[in-house]
Every structure is written in structure tokens, then in C-alpha cells.
Structure 1
């Protein structure tokens, strides 16, 4: 009788230990799954349109001359053009691609979308001079519009607008970095481990 009781107690102990062992084995998987879901949710939250706005102005003098009779007779048209343009630099983070490696607890950003620059110029003509033999036409307006956008694009490259846009981009991406670091995960981009905002800036601008 005593032997049966001892065997029963031992069996119960073994069953309890087995349950505890199973629970212990399941915990890491549960934690990894939980952390993965949190990180995925954070990436979804970051996935938005990041927009930086700027305003540019410039004044252009446009001239065109039509010559006739072996250049003996010419008709000129000209105008003073004032341009005010609203410019946006945007990153659509919905297009960001990434990979989650649960085994190695690593998030790899595969690609970050290139910035989208939108120029919306308001063109005003002043002091317009033209003649019936050389009037302003749709072709002139197309040339002016093309020239205006080309000049503005150069100004944007030299301005701080793109720099500010990149800073905003890094700020959004750093939200993922903060979360991965707090959970003991790694964040990787361009084959480099990202440990802080400076690493992000170096890879994005490099």
C-alpha cells in the first residue's frame, strides 16, 4: 500500500514537472511572437507620408526675338516674370520594405522610398511687350514653366529643405529603433547595424 502511494506521488511529481517544463519551453516562443507583433504594429504606425514644405521666390526676365529679311527687321517680345512656388519633399513610408527575423531577433529594413519633390509654381507676368508678328504663345509659356522648375530644382538642392526632410525621416524611423532596442532586438539597414540616429543619417545620406 505504501509502495503504491509513493509511486503515485512520484508520478504526480513527474507530471507536474513535465507541465512546468512545457510551460518553460513555450514562454520564449510566446515572448518572441508578442515582441514581433509589437514591432509590426510600430512599423505600421510609422508607415505614413512624411512631408516637409518650403516656399521659394524668383524674378525672371524672358526675351525672345524674331528676325526677318536677313535679320534686317526684328520683332522682340519680353516680360518680367515673378514666380512664387510652394515646394514639398515627401517620403511615403507605406512603401518601405522590411524583413523580420524572429530567430535572430533582427529587423532588416530592405528599402526606404526615395523622396518625392513636388513643385507648384505660381507664375505672374509683368511689363509684357509683344507684337502681332511675335506674340506670346503656348510654346513660350511651356518654355518658361520648364525653365522655372529647373531653376527651382537647383535652388532646392542648395537649400536646407531636403536636409530638413531627411531629419524628419530619420526621426520617424528612429521610433522603430527605440522599440527594437528596448526589446533586445537589432535593427539593420544597408548591411549595417543601426544603433542610434547618427547611424541612420549616415546610411540615408551616404
Structure 2
């Protein structure tokens, strides 16, 4: 009788331990799934449009001379051009491409889109001087518009607008770096393991 009781108790303990083991395995599995899910969620959070705005202003003088009779007679036209331009530098991270390797707990950023620069100038023309033989035409306005945008493009290159936009890009991608590090994953960009914001910044600027 005692032997049967001990065998019965042993069976109950074995069943209890088996259930405990199964629950432990389920908890382990759910942890793995949660890690991948958190990585995916962070990518969704990072995948947005980053826009950095700037304002530029300039005043230029447009001049043109039409010559007649082998340059003996000329007719001038000129105008003062006042330009106020809104400029945006944007990174559309919806276009970012990546690979997730759950087995090796690695996320690889394959492609980061180039910055998109948009120039929206407000051009006003003042103090117009022209003659009947050299009036302002549509061609003049096209030249003015083209010249204004070319000058603004040079100013943007010399300004901090693009570097500020890139800093915002690094800041967004750093959130992904923090998440992967905290979960024990590895972040790569173009095949190189990224361990810090500095390395991320250096790789993107290459």
C-alpha cells in the first residue's frame, strides 16, 4: 500500500514538473518573439519623414544690354530682385531597406535614402528699368529664376542646413541602435558592425 502511494505521489510530481518545464519553455519562446517584435516596432518608429527647414534671403541686381549698329548703340534693362526662400532637407526613412536575421539576432541596414532638397523661392522684382528695344520678356524671368536657384544651392552647401539634417538622421537611427543593443542584437550598416553613434555617423558620411 505504501509503495503504491509513493508511486502515485511520484507520478504527480513528475506531471507537475513536466507542466512547469513546458511553461518555462513557453516563457523562453515568448521572450524571443518579443525581442524580434520590439525590433520591428522600433524600425516602424524610425521609418518616418525627417524634415529640416531653413530660410534664405538675398537681394541681387539683374542687368542686360542689347547692342545695335556693331555696338555703337545699346539699350540697357535692369531690375532689383528680392528673394526669400524656404528650403527643406528631408530624409524619407520609409524608403530605408533592411534585413532581419532572427537566428543570429542581427539587423542589417542595407539602404538609407539620400537627402531630398527642395527650394521654394519667393521672387519679387523691383525698380525695373527697360526700353522698348530691350523690354523684359519671359526669357528674362526664366534666367532670373534659374540664377536665383543656383545661388541658393551654393548657399545651402555652405550652410549648416545639410549637416543639421544629417544629425537628425543619426539621432533617429540611434534609437534603433539602442534597442538592438539592449535586446542583445547586433546592428550592421553596409556589412560593418555598428556599436556606437560615432561609428554610425562615420559610416553614413563615407
| TM-score, length-scaled by structure 1 | 0.90
Secondary structure, aligned partner of 2:131 = coil
Secondary structure, aligned partner of 2:104 = coil
CA distance in 1, matches of 2:166, 2:24: 45
Show structure 2 runs of 5+ residues with no match: none
Secondary structure, aligned partner of 1:184 = coil
| 1:29-108 superposed matches below 5 A | 29-108=29-108
| 1:119-138 superposed matches below 5 A | 119-138=119-138
Structure 1 residue 13: Cα displacement: 4.5
Secondary structure, aligned partner of 1:54 = strand
CA distance in 2, matches of 1:8, 1:146: 92
Secondary structure, aligned partner of 1:98 = strand
More displaced, 43-52 or 155-164?
43-52
Structure 1 residue 8: Cα displacement: 4.6
- 2:161 aligns to what? 161
Structure 1 residue 169: Cα displacement: 1.0
CA distance in 2, matches of 1:69, 1:28: 92
CA distance in 1, matches of 2:83, 2:124: 6
Does 1:172 pair with 2:151?
A: no
- 1:183 aligns to what? 183
More displaced, 152-161 or 37-46?
37-46
CA distance in 2, matches of 1:60, 1:32: 62
- 1:202 aligns to what? 202
CA distance in 2, matches of 1:174, 1:117: 23
Render the CA deviation track for 1:22-77: whole Å, top value 9, x for unaligned: 44444433211111112211221222211111111222221112222333322221
Number of aligned residue pairs: give it.
206
CA distance in 1, matches of 2:141, 2:4: 102
Secondary structure, aligned partner of 2:134 = coil
Render the CA deviation track for 1:99-157: whole Å, top value 9, x for unaligned: 22111111111111111111111112222111111111111111111111111111111
CA distance in 2, matches of 1:28, 1:64: 78
